[in-house]
Structure 1
Amino acid sequence: MTTPETAAAPHNSPNPFASAAMTVLSFAVLLFAGAAVGLMSGFSMGWVSHFWDLGLTVQVGGVAAVVAYLVALYALCRLAGWGSRRQSGALGFAVGFVAMTLAMIGYTVGGSIVFSGKPVNYVFLFGSMIALAAGVVRSFVLPPRTTPQAQPQVSGA
């Protein structure tokens, strides 16, 4: 008869191939997710800068929208790192976002493809790079802390 103390413990050793495959797969998926977010947000910021010349109220609203977006971008980057349980997930999201943003900055004869020379676009471009860098750095996942075991007190005379 086996008791819980003498029963064989289940074998829970991780498979190194599966772990590496999941790391690569999560990086690739989050790379494309970051590129999609970069594409959609780039065109959204194009609309914010389109109305930039309408006055101070619109400019304040545009800057507030960009700041709110940057907070959400930071949270998405942290979420990508948390969801993949690796810093590479956040890095994949950030690389996809930056690659798409750099592709949209491309210069043509008539100027930039999406972004104009308005100050709100510079706040968006530089702010998104700072938010992504902070999100990648802060997404470093630490191993769980172990609690120290209490030693039994021996009372002696």
Structure 2
Amino acid sequence: MKEACVKREKVHLSMAVMRLESEERKQDAINAIKIATKELLDERQGGGIRLQPTELGSFPGVLHLKMDEDTSAVLRRYYELLSTELKGRNIQMAKEKSSEFKPHATIIKAAQGMRRVKKFPELRKNKKEARTALKIPSIDDIKTKLGDDADLDQGDDTGETVEKVELCS
């Protein structure tokens, strides 16, 4: 399971997925990020952005931290600002509707562990067999194993303040 975990220093929030085919387009995206970030911080009157995870959730092949409603509202607003800036530069995002956006921080990607399958051609055809042979747990197995520990809202301060916003490749 270790291979599937996202390293602490690489935990991040994905706000948009884009295809940037040149350095110029990359710079356009960076400028859009800077402007959207400034607009959000101006709206919040200098108040920082605090991330408060509440529970574990999952998408196919991904275990993630869900954010509390206040954090989610701020992140949805940031998504709207960023989307507007990117569209103004004719940069298309993978998901166009903000209603589809679900703020989260990925902590485990089952696909990371599945990369080991490449070393075993005989297992490539059957993913379930490959997971079993290589001892790669499914996201459901992980959630079941965590059980009650999956509830992060236990009164202690588990929030983190956003320190930087950047374009990652």
Which TM-score applies when normalising by structure 2? 0.26
Higher share in strand: 2
Higher share in helix: 1
Which has the larger Rg? 1
Which TM-score applies when normalising by structure 1? 0.28
